[in-house]
A and B are shown apart, each in its own frame.
Chain A
Amino acid sequence: MAQAYTPGLMVSRGGVWRRRRLLPIAGEVLVRVGDRVEAQDVVARTLMPGDAVPVNLARLLGVSPGELPHCLKFQEGEQVKKGDLLAESPGIFGLFRTQTPAPATGTLESISKVTGQVLLRGAPLAVEVLAYLRGTVVEVLPHEGVVIEAPAAFIQGIFGIGGEAYGELVTVSAGPEDDLTDEQIRPEHAGKVLVAGRRMTGDAIRKAIKLRVSAVIAGGMDDQDLREILGYDLGVAVTGTEKLGTSLIITEGFGEIAMARRTFDLLRSHAGDNVAVNGATQIRAGVMRPEILIPLDDATGRLTAESAGAGLLEVGVPVRIIREPGFGALGTVAGLPNEPAWLESGSKARVVEVQLQAGPKVVVPRANVELIEG
């Protein structure tokens, strides 16, 4: 076989991108088709039901569920304050009455005649959805949200921490081989999206969080640093809800691994632009990778990416080795032997011959390379 499918991440200089911005539950859409929106404009809003507090009043009062409505001091739908007399048992000849105060403030949502349970619903929680992408509203999904379309450069990271973040892109490393140290992070970087080269050090991350940097992008980071910063060992790669205050995105992997030159150059060429990033990662089927979206002034591409990262492994295409030995090494496909080959591990697997950029030709399992842009 002269070619094979291999996965990879997307890096695009320009294309027209769409993002669905949806409310978690039905609500109000605040924009119309054709409206121009800025990244941090609110496009939809809703009120989430507040916390529910069930109270088994029948049991507390010592009455049957059927008797409960006669004991209640409030009707369904009425507001109740914490400490208000919620219900009172009739007692015996009016004596020995049991009173139950409301354990929380809220609305009396329901009264069950089967279980004798009432439900107090706390104040609704406001949820707002931002546009995220500076662009045009191309579709309104009534009560659900919108679809925003915009010309943008797009970079997928391999792993991230923290959710959506915004800010001006600032390149702080001189080149993709340079680590990000804490000395390079200064107070004026607050609210900015910083681009580093190889590895963001633990000290640099801590300083970025302290100075309220919006996001940091680098080739790699150490798991040891991540563990210290999070305060726990990340077991499953489902992220995005961390509350560090700074979103972190790595584009290549864990350890000291330089950012791909093309990615670094693309980010550097947009220094000063306002970008939207999202560190949320979900490495499961239905995978979500972190992303960086850099709005462009006009459409320079098509709706689909000009350069999908995944595709066919063919002789001549540039690849990166994504497992030891040689993790991170770049090269081009020199051959795709049809027959499986023996590996040092003793396994037999289909392999690819890679001519390394710096060094000899090596043979690695096909599963251990990914396509990159030349």
Chain B
Amino acid sequence: MAEGNGLHSAAVKPPIDPDSLQVILATDCGSTTTKAILIEKVDGVYRQTFRGEAPTTVEEPIADVTMGVINAATEVGELAGRRLVDENGLLIRPSQGNDGCDIYISTSSAGGGLQMLVAGVVRQMTAASAERAALGAGAIVMETLASNDKRRPFEQIQRIRELRPDMILLAGGTDGGTRRHVVQLAELIAPAKPQPRFGGQFKMPVIYAGNREAAVDVRRVLGEVAELSVVDNVRPVLERENLAPARDRIHDLFLEHVMAHAPGYDKLMDWADTPIMPTPGAVGDILRTIAERQGINAVGVDIGGATTDVFSVFHSVFNRTVSANLGMSYSISNVCAEAGLESILRWVPYDTNERELRNRVKNKMIRPTTIPQTLEALMFEQAVAREALRLSYIQHRSFAVDLRGVQQQRSVGDMFAQETGDRSIVDNMALDLLVASGGVLSHAPRMEQTAAMLIDAFEPEGITRLAKDSIFMMPHLGVLAQVHPQAAMDVFERDCLVYLGTCIAPAGLAHDGEVCLRYRIQGGGLDERGELAFGDWKRLPLPADRTAVVTLEPARRFNVGAGPGVALEREVRGGEVGIVLDGRGRPLRLPSDPVESRRKVRRWNSAISMYPEE
């Protein structure tokens, strides 16, 4: 991995002997649900064996996250026939016979996750580097301030006063560069007298990661009003970023300030044998590992109750974005507000009563742990998911512009070019693997539903392999990799990813019914030859352990990866869904007439057997 994970703990724990681990209990305390998994060494290999979950308990009257952990662990224990919790409500360690586990590890996004305000001198340069350091550490960036963000200084001060972030990251200036603008930013933060979200009696933690020559001035300005830490510059020279020291300090402060003040987290930190990681940090680490090991371009998404994280690795460049108010429970109402109910209803194949639907959305928001019981409710949630994912991916693409991570050179010319804002490095035609994670994707009753949500929202082009996190264990494996990389890889390869198959989507537009692709597919039990009409999609079964050779001849205006109208031959792999030939066009367009849209969506659903009795 290019960067350190920055795990530091206030409490010193005894070292863990990886060889002694037979039973591992891992939890992820999400904003809605606490997920627990059991990993056991079976025949010399680590396997994920059982899973349980319970509502997260940070809400009154419980207001203690460990209650949710115990409930989830109890459920896992019951399913596994292993007693994990003793009569005093404590985890049993180490394991003995059918009792206990050897280590307990956890990630967390409860408590609203880690919320930060970042600042830098130039929006597209040091402020962007600060933003990337915060996002890479697993934070939600509430606001980015920059000297050139077009707001007047008093408006910027007012904004700082309104927000209650967990911490502030202040960057600005290359080493030896501007001092004045950096100190000016500090002079905006100081009079705002920012108050931290938790623990009103404490000073706001501020990390300074800018021009090191300005550190003394920054300390003079902020020393009285904030708890200031000075770390190495995130942008020591214009051509290079150095995000790891800021990321490490963010992790430290996350543990010391945020976690320590969230309900029950002091106990949880004490229980955990390794430092608790922010969930997105753990997921990002695992995705980077996959892309690096396989040498591919990958996009991962984790759609949760409150937020949606998108991770991408293109040509070894890692980016992560958090869409703070796009999610399936706490934020479901905001998805409807941002996308517009009509955009969501495009994907719903039945007629609806808007008034009733609005009430249902709000009821899900106020009781976020409920799950769809009827098929109609499921279809609606999956429609909302498509829009949440689509909006999150749009945000990600606009953020992941031509910027590079640690140790990568970039020219000054790139800097100016990126100011045009249209050079996203996210390229759907170059995408090799799209990984789905998060309840609505991981727990969809049919694999076809997960594949369809991914394809409809992300619109992969050319040839793209699709996978899902089988039971949402990427966060657990991300943190496990810190103590036992081999165990994490064992489980990842055997139990984590479920391959859905391969999507083949010619990019281009035509009229419905026109031929957009001629194909031949041979191998893995398939010998298919045919034409794909624009506006249609179809599914061909190809098991996960089989491969087939596809020969694709796109129509003149269509591209499958080799250029418009250029044929391509490639070996593709199967999966639970198989091969999806998607001739619906890129960009994907639905009829504006609701009746026509419903008719079309019903036809698409039926073509790949997405729902029962269709």
- Residue numbers in B under 8 Å from A286 (CB-CB): 58-59, 111-112, 262-263
Task: Tell me whether A224 is interfacial, beta carbon within 8 Å.
Answer: yes
Q: A144-B201, A233-B336 are in contact. Are A309 and B61 (CB under 8 A)?
A: yes
Q: Is the interface of A mostly helix, strand, loop or mixed?
A: loop
Minimum C-beta distance from B307 to chain A (A): 10
Which residue of chain B has its CB nearest to the CB of A122?
A: B154
Q: A54-B153, A285-B59, A287-B59 are in contact. Are A117 and B187 (CB under 8 A)?
A: yes
Contact with B along A98-119 (1 / 0, CB 8 A): 0000000000011010111101
Task: Tell me whether B359 is interfacial, beta carbon within 8 Å.
Answer: yes
Task: Tell me whether A254 is interfacial, beta carbon within 8 Å.
Answer: yes
B370 contacts A323, C-beta separation under 8 Å: yes
Task: Tell me whether B179 is interfacial, beta carbon within 8 Å.
Answer: yes
Contact with B along A338-374 (1 / 0, CB 8 A): 0000011111110000000000000011011010000
Q: A235-B337, A324-B377, A346-B445 are in contact. Are A119 and B56 (CB under 8 A)?
A: no
Minimum C-beta distance from B157 to chain A (A): 5
- Residue numbers in B under 8 Å from A287 (CB-CB): 58-60
A52 contacts B154, C-beta separation under 8 Å: yes
Contact with B along A284-326 (1 / 0, CB 8 A): 1111010000000000000001001110000000000011110
Minimum C-beta distance from A345 to chain B (A): 4
Task: Tell me whether B360 is interfacial, beta carbon within 8 Å.
Answer: yes
Minimum C-beta distance from A42 to chain B (A): 20
6 further A-B pairs in the complex, CB-CB below 8 A; given A115-B184, A253-B367: A10-B61, A52-B157, A112-B187, A159-B366, A344-B374, A347-B443
- Residue numbers in B under 8 Å from A24 (CB-CB): 195, 200
Which of B36-44, B325-333, B583-591 has 4 or more CB atoms under 8 Å from chain A? B325-333
Supply 12 A–B pairs (Cβ within 8 Å), ascending by A.
A10-B61, A51-B158, A52-B191, A54-B154, A114-B183, A159-B366, A233-B337, A236-B330, A236-B334, A255-B363, A284-B306, A287-B59
B363 contacts A322, C-beta separation under 8 Å: yes
Task: Tell me whether A174 is interfacial, beta carbon within 8 Å.
Answer: no
Which residue of chain B has its CB nearest to the CB of A327?
A: B363
A285 contacts B112, C-beta separation under 8 Å: yes
A223 contacts B358, C-beta separation under 8 Å: yes
Minimum C-beta distance from A304 to chain B (A): 8
Contact of A5 among B31, B55, B59 (CB under 8 A): B55
B373 contacts A119, C-beta separation under 8 Å: no
Which residue of chain A has its CB nearest to the CB of B55?
A: A7
Which residue of chain A has its CB nearest to the CB of B58?
A: A285
Minimum C-beta distance from A93 to chain B (A): 28
Q: A52-B157, A121-B191 are in contact. Are A285 and B374 (CB under 8 A)?
A: no
A346 contacts B153, C-beta separation under 8 Å: no
Question: In the complex, A237→B367 CA distance in Å?
Answer: 11
Contact with A along B7-33 (1 / 0, CB 8 A): 000000000000000000000000100
Which residue of chain B has its CB nearest to the CB of A340?
A: B79
A5 contacts B71, C-beta separation under 8 Å: yes
Q: How many residues of A are in contact with the other chain, CB < 8 A?
A: 69
- Residue numbers in A under 8 Å from B191 (CB-CB): 49, 52, 54, 109-110, 119, 121
4 closest A-B pairs by CB? A235-B334, A346-B445, A345-B378, A287-B59
Task: Tell me whether A283 is interfacial, beta carbon within 8 Å.
Answer: yes
Question: In the complex, A323→B262 CA distance in Å?
Answer: 29
Task: Tell me whether A1 is interfacial, beta carbon within 8 Å.
Answer: yes
Task: Tell me whether B417 is interfacial, beta carbon within 8 Å.
Answer: no
B370 contacts A112, C-beta separation under 8 Å: no
Task: Tell me whether A217 is interfacial, beta carbon within 8 Å.
Answer: no
Task: Tell me whether A22 is interfacial, beta carbon within 8 Å.
Answer: yes
- Residue numbers in A under 8 Å from B67 (CB-CB): 5
Contact with B along A27-66 (1 / 0, CB 8 A): 0000000000000000000000101111010000000010
B366 contacts A254, C-beta separation under 8 Å: yes
Contact of B371 among A51, A52, A65, A347 (CB under 8 A): A347
B445 contacts A324, C-beta separation under 8 Å: no
Minimum C-beta distance from A341 to chain B (A): 11
B378 contacts A346, C-beta separation under 8 Å: yes
Contact of B373 among A159, A235, A344 (CB under 8 A): A344
Task: Tell me whether B556 is interfacial, beta carbon within 8 Å.
Answer: no
A236 contacts B333, C-beta separation under 8 Å: yes
Contact of A49 among B56, B193, B334 (CB under 8 A): B193
Residues of chain B from 52 to 80 with CB closer than 8 A to chain A in the complex: 54-62, 67, 71, 75, 78
Contact of A283 among B368, B373, B446 (CB under 8 A): B368
Most chain A CB within a 10 A radius of its CB, from B56, B263, B325, B360:
B360
- Residue numbers in A under 8 Å from B445 (CB-CB): 345-348
Minimum C-beta distance from B259 to chain A (A): 12
- Residue numbers in A under 8 Å from B58 (CB-CB): 285-287
- Residue numbers in B under 8 Å from A233 (CB-CB): 333, 336-337
Which residue of chain A has its CB nearest to the CB of B369?
A: A367
B187 contacts A119, C-beta separation under 8 Å: yes
Question: In the complex, A227→B340 CA distance in Å?
Answer: 13
Task: Tell me whether A127 is interfacial, beta carbon within 8 Å.
Answer: no
Q: A115-B184, A283-B366, A285-B58 are in contact. Are A54 and B157 (CB under 8 A)?
A: yes
Q: A286-B111, A324-B360 are in contact. Are A370 and B78 (CB under 8 A)?
A: no
A223 contacts B362, C-beta separation under 8 Å: yes
Residues of chain A from 219 to 247 with CB closer than 8 A to chain B in the complex: 222-224, 226-227, 233-237
Task: Tell me whether A158 is interfacial, beta carbon within 8 Å.
Answer: yes
- Residue numbers in A under 8 Å from B370 (CB-CB): 322-323, 365, 367-368
- Residue numbers in A under 8 Å from B192 (CB-CB): 52
Minimum C-beta distance from B367 to chain A (A): 5
Question: In the complex, A347→B446 CA distance in Å?
Answer: 8
Which residue of chain A has its CB nearest to the CB of B158?
A: A51
Question: In the complex, A255→B370 CA distance in Å?
Answer: 17
Task: Tell me whether B612 is interfacial, beta carbon within 8 Å.
Answer: yes
A158 contacts B59, C-beta separation under 8 Å: no
Question: In the complex, A222→B201 CA distance in Å?
Answer: 40
A345 contacts B365, C-beta separation under 8 Å: no
Question: In the complex, A346→B479 CA distance in Å?
Answer: 32
Which residue of chain A has its CB nearest to the CB of B334?
A: A235
B61 contacts A367, C-beta separation under 8 Å: no
B336 contacts A236, C-beta separation under 8 Å: no
Task: Tell me whether B130 is interfacial, beta carbon within 8 Å.
Answer: no
Contact of A237 among B111, B333, B360, B371 (CB under 8 A): B333
Question: In the complex, A336→B283 CA distance in Å?
Answer: 35
Question: In the complex, A122→B58 CA distance in Å?
Answer: 39
B377 contacts A25, C-beta separation under 8 Å: no
Q: A236-B331, A322-B363, A346-B445 are in contact. Are A310 and B61 (CB under 8 A)?
A: yes
Q: A117-B184, A224-B355, A322-B367 are in contact. Are A235 and B338 (CB under 8 A)?
A: yes
A308 contacts B367, C-beta separation under 8 Å: no
B56 contacts A285, C-beta separation under 8 Å: yes
Question: In the complex, A284→B370 CA distance in Å?
Answer: 15
A325 contacts B371, C-beta separation under 8 Å: no
B368 contacts A344, C-beta separation under 8 Å: no
- Residue numbers in A under 8 Å from B60 (CB-CB): 10, 287, 289
Question: In the complex, A325→B158 CA distance in Å?
Answer: 46
- Residue numbers in A under 8 Å from B362 (CB-CB): 159, 223, 226, 234, 253-254
Q: A52-B192, A283-B365, A365-B371 are in contact. Are A237 and B330 (CB under 8 A)?
A: yes
Which residue of chain A has its CB nearest to the CB of B335?
A: A235
Minimum C-beta distance from B66 to chain A (A): 13
Contact of B62 among A56, A236, A310 (CB under 8 A): A310
